[in-house]
Chains A and B, each alone.
Chain A
Amino acid sequence: MQNNVNITNAVTKFRQDFAIIANWVNFGSKVLDLGCGDGELLQFLRDSLETKGYGVEKDDTNVLACVKNGTNVIQMDLEDGLSGFENQSFDTVILSQTLQAMHNTERIVLEMLRVGEEIIVTFPNFGYWRNRMQITAGRMPVSKALPYQWYDTPNVHLCTINDFDDFCKNHKIEILERRVITDGKEVDFLPNLLGSLAMYRLKSK
């Protein structure tokens, strides 16, 4: 049951991506955050942009934390898809640093595009040079962004920026914007090598 691992909490220190996400979300819009953890991002968006937000979360502790924070949370497993949500019923659907832990990766991205006018997907870039170094040294990468050992990681579908670009192309997904960051700073040069976290704003073509 790998997905029982609490992914969101493990990476909360890396939420410098919040500012970029906030830039991609319109004031007063309707947002769905998949794998919302304790609702931190939704609260940030609500406080800064007066968004109407809902979170989806599987973990009991996180659901309770959302209830405590006054964040609308729907407890369900993303692996089952988004059947409880109508087509194009959200302005933005967000999957923040959860893609790599999904089994049905392809399905969830397509479901997000069905439910949201635009979607935001962020994930740790496996092509980041530090990961490559560790592989070259003959080890599975372990880092702040990937803080698990090979045997206890919830991450089952790690990919690089190049991989994800191809994925979008093959699935007729339009990349509206792509931002890459490392330690809180934006990376423009050789993003697939120098970028730790990849962030995409996407829509259906």
Chain B
Amino acid sequence: MQENNSIGIVAPRTAHFSEPFTLKSGKILPQFDLVFETYGILNADRSNAVLICHALSGHHHVAGKHHESDKYPGWWDNLIGPGKPLDTNRFFVIGLNNLGGCHGSSGPSSINPDTNKPWGSAFPIVTVEDWVNSQARLLDHLGITQLAAVIGGSLGGMQALQWTIAYPERVRHALVIASAPNLTAQNMAFNEVARQAIITDPEFHGGDYYEHGVVPRRGLRIARMLGHITYLSDDAMGEKFGRKLKDNIKYSFDVEFEMESYLRYQGDKFAGEFDANTYLRMTRALDYYDPALAYGGDLSKALSKAKAQFLVLSFTSDWRFSPARSREIVKALLDNESTVSYAEVTAAHGHDAFLMPDKHYHAILRTYLSNIQIGSDHAK
């Protein structure tokens, strides 16, 4: 919508970390790479940094374009840029590809320096906690002690929440959007079906398909199709496709309805560009995240050390990360007398709404972000 205030042409960078990194599982990564992008300028007292945490299929390319000829900008370009709700004239914005990803950071499809072959099944399972710890290392690398804000939607929102728990001194504001304090059984069930689709694909080869020169494309495609059903609301799907036919009914199993065409397109596109092993790990990270678990299921206790100020947002038609789940986070924050505001945005698009430029949603983000103090005035 606002093409004219794009951040413009951006380029990714890679940070190499050679210190061993212990994961929540106990496994140790002897070294790893994180690929990241930054937008805007880090100010003199380094108080204007904002970290963007990506969701299931996201990556470091959050805003702008890599080349003038790119068809699409970064995945959250409608939010980030000069004059946009997250204003790069004011903030220094960092986007990264999480550990285990498939867009340049160390992950199953990257080369294991010990073997000079893709990691494949040998790449460990990573968690939200691991991601946040690795993100903290990236901040160290960039010389940033404290974030002005951490922002994330969905699985990204879990990372934003985890930041406030793991590094209470290092984050002043957390924007937790369309997220949850853990997944419900139903939500995990979708992940399990997605993983089974991948793992039972004959071309999966136990996760070491790279050496066979194949990819479990069918499995990944079905996993993504399933995902897309859950990201849209019934109403949004009805409005977008309804029972519209592609052509006359042919009494076949080819694409008959527009909805099928959409799902197949999304599935094919995704299967052609995403790594199945990464998809498995991202869904597992979702399943495992449960900060209250260590506190006997008491989320309030889990959040008791958080010092950040919170903005929690949910969308009325989001059933995969429903408003009720966001309200659980809000309740825990209220129990701790944290500074928190909560908005429940009326939106028809289901879970996908968090990536859309809804006017009210963006007005809230813009307003909240513009109130964040940076520079010498942020220190109380």
A interface, CB within 8 angstroms of B = 30, 52, 54, 60, 63-64, 66-68, 70-76, 84-86, 89
**A86 touches which one: B335, B339, B341, B360 (CB < 8 A)?**
B335
Indicate with 1 or 0, residue by residue over B237-268, a CB within 8 angstroms of chain A CB atoms: 00000000000000000000000000000000
Q: Are B340 and A67 in contact (CB under 8 A)?
A: no
State whether B367 touches A60 (Cβ < 8 A). no
Q: Is the beta-carbon distance between A52 and B337 smaller than 8 angstroms?
A: yes
Q: How far is the CA of A84 from the CA of B299 in the complex (A)?
A: 13
**Chain A interface, >50% SS class:** mixed
**B57: CB under 8 A from chain A?**
no
The answer to the question of B330 belonging to the interface, with a C-beta cut-off of 8 Å to chain A, is yes
Q: How far is the CA of A86 from the CA of B333 in the complex (A)?
A: 11
- Whether A85 and B367, one on each chain, are in contact in the complex, defined by CB atoms closer than 8 angstroms, is no
Question: Nearest Cβ distance between residue B65 and chain A, in whole angstroms?
Answer: 31
B121 interface residue per 8 A CB criterion: no
List 15 additional A-B contacts (Cβ < 8 Å) besides A67-B341, A68-B371.
Answer: A30-B337, A63-B341, A64-B364, A64-B367, A67-B343, A67-B364, A68-B367, A70-B371, A73-B343, A75-B342, A75-B343, A76-B344, A85-B334, A86-B334, A86-B335
Known: A67-B343, A76-B344. A54 touches B371 (CB 8 A): no
The 7 closest A-B pairs by CB, nearest first: A84-B331, A74-B342, A75-B344, A75-B343, A67-B367, A68-B367, A73-B341
Residue B363 at the chain A interface, CB threshold 8 Å: yes
Knowing A84-B327, A86-B335, A89-B334 are in contact, say whether A64-B363 is a contact too (CB < 8 A).
yes
Chain B, residues 331-369, CB within 8 Å of chain A (1/0): the string is 100110101111110100000000000001001100110
Q: Nearest-CB distance from A182 to chain B (Å)?
A: 36
For the complex, what is the distance from the CA of A148 to the CA of B367, rounded to whole Å?
32
How near does chain B come to A93, taking the closest CB pair, in angstroms?
A: 13
A–B Cβ pairs within 8 angstroms, 23 of them? A54-B334, A60-B360, A64-B363, A64-B367, A66-B341, A67-B311, A67-B341, A67-B343, A67-B364, A68-B371, A70-B371, A71-B341, A72-B340, A74-B330, A74-B342, A75-B342, A75-B344, A76-B342, A76-B344, A84-B327, A84-B330, A84-B334, A86-B335
- Rounded to whole angstroms, the CA-CA distance of A75 and B339 in the bound complex is 14
A70 and chain B: residue at smallest CB distance = B371
State whether B342 touches A64 (Cβ < 8 A).
Answer: no
B: residues with CB less than 8 A from A are 311, 327, 330-331, 334-335, 337, 339-344, 346, 360, 363-364, 367-368, 371
Q: Least Cβ distance of A1 to chain B in Å?
A: 12
The chain B residue with its CB closest to the CB of A76 is: B344
A194-B377 Cα distance, complex, nearest whole Å? 51
User: Chain A nearest CB: distance from B18 CB in Å?
Assistant: 43
Q: What B residues does A68 contact at CB under 8 A?
A: 367, 371
Q: Chain A residues near B340: list those with CB within 8 A.
A: 54, 72, 74
Complex CA gap A52/B360 in Å reads 27
- Could you tell me if B346 and A60 are in contact, using CB atoms closer than 8 angstroms? yes
Known A54-B334, A64-B360, A84-B330: A72·B339 in contact at CB below 8 Å: yes
Q: Among A54, A71, A75, which residue has the most Cβ atoms of chain B within 10 A?
A: A75
> In angstroms, how far is the closest chain B Cβ from the Cβ of A14?
26
Residues of B near A84 (CB, < 8 A) are: 327, 330-331, 334
Contact A63 B371 (CB under 8 A): no
Within 8 Å CB of B311, what residues of A? 67
**What's the nearest-Cβ distance from chain B to residue A7, in Å?**
19
Given known A-B contacts A73-B342, A74-B342, A63 and B364 have beta carbons under 8 A apart = yes
Contact at A63–B343, with CB atoms within 8 Å?
yes
C-alpha gap A68/B343 in the complex (Å): 13
B-side contacts of A70, CB under 8 Å: 371
A72 touching B341 by the CB < 8 A rule? Answer: yes
**How many Å lie between the Cα of A86 and that of B311 in the bound state?**
20
B327, B342, B360, B368: most-surrounded residue (chain A CB, <10 A): B342
Please, which residues of chain A bring their CB within 8 A of the CB of B364?
A: 63-64, 67
Nearest B residue to A30, CB-CB: B337
Q: How far is the CA of A75 from the CA of B343 in the complex (A)?
A: 5
Q: Considering only CB atoms, which chain A residue lies closest to B331 in the complex?
A: A84
> Smallest distance from the beta carbon of B193 to chain A beta carbons, Å?
32
CB of B292, distance to nearest CB on chain A (Å): 16
Residues of chain A within 8 A (CB-CB) of B346 are 60
Which A residue's beta carbon lies closest to that of B310? Answer: A72
Q: B348 to chain A: closest CB distance in Å?
A: 15
Q: How far is the CA of A30 from the CA of B336 in the complex (A)?
A: 12
Q: Could you say which residues of chain B place their CB within 8 Å of the CB of A86?
A: 334-335
- Most chain A Cβ neighbours within 10 Å, of B331, B337, B339, B343: B343
Give chain B nearest CB distance to A154 CB in angstroms: 19
Which A residues touch B342, using CB under 8 A?
73-76
**Nearest-Cβ distance from residue B177 to partner chain A, whole angstroms:** 14
Rounded to whole Å, the gap between the CB of B149 and the closest CB of chain A is 14
A67/B337 in contact, CB under 8 A = no
State A30–B334 Cα separation when bound (angstroms).
11
Given the complex of chains A and B, what is the CA–CA distance between A60 and B343 in angstroms?
Answer: 8
Task: List B contacts of A74 (CB < 8 A).
Answer: 330, 334, 340-342
CA distance A75 to B311 in the complex (A): 11
Give min CB distance, B371 to chain A, whole Å.
Answer: 6
A112 to B363, CA, bound (A): 31
Tell me, in angstroms, the Cα distance from A67 to B343 when the chains sit together. 9
Among B335, B344, B368, the one with the most A-chain Cβ atoms within 10 Å of its Cβ is: B344
